[in-house]
């Protein structure tokens, strides 16, 4: 999508720090990290958020979740990590392109704010 910031990041029109990339997903460092390690995994396909997911997207979502462990290993988050998907206004989603936050390298608190 032409005016989507994460589509522009995926297309390298906006610079980012790459962590992992393949034909389906792109993983890059969050510009405003909330933990010593904080990366975002996005599908290359523009999907607005969890609310926009269809049955056709199920394999892609499964693929993304299954990739998380690989990314965590690559980033040496050996003591655990947290996976977050914010959705919609109450979920405080600020970028309308589906993304999985992966946070780690500190003891994270619970419940979230
Ligand atoms: P949300 O609040 O939608 O769940 O998460 C959006 C995330 O994208 C935020 O953590 C924010 O720091 C990150 N973000 C927003 N704009 C940019 C950008 O231009 N580059 C990078 N690397 N991260 C961004
Ligand atoms: Zn997009």
- C-alpha of residue 12 to centroid of ligand 2, in Å: 12
Distance (Å, rounded) from C-alpha 8 to C-alpha 14?
6
Catalytic (active site) residue 99: yes
Q: Given the DSSP bridges, would you call strands 37-43 and 25-29 parallel, antiparallel or unpaired?
A: antiparallel
Please state the atom number of ligand 1 nearest to the C-alpha of residue 94.
3
Distance (Å, rounded) from C-alpha 21 to C-alpha 74?
13
Distance (Å, rounded) from C-alpha 30 to C-alpha 60?
22
> Is residue 44 within 8 Å of residue 23, measured between CB atoms?
yes
**pLDDT, tens digit, 9 for 90 and up, residues 22-76:** 999 999 999 999 999 999 999 999 999 999 999 999 999 999 999 999 999 999 9
């Amino acid at each position: 999508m032409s005016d989507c910031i994460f589509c522009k990041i995926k297309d390298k029109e906006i610079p980012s720090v790459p962590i992992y990339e393949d034909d389906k997903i792109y993983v890059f460092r969050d510009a405003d990290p909330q933990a010593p390690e904080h990366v975002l995994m996005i599908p290359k396909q523009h999907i607005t958020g969890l609310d926009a997911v269809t049955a056709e997207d199920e394999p892609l979502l499964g693929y993304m979740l299954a990739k998380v462990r690989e990314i965590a290993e690559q980033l040496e988050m050996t003591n655990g990590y947290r996976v977050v998907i914010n959705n919609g206004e109450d979920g405080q989603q600020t970028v309308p392109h589906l993304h999985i936050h992966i946070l780690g390298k500190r003891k994270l608190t619970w419940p979230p704010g």
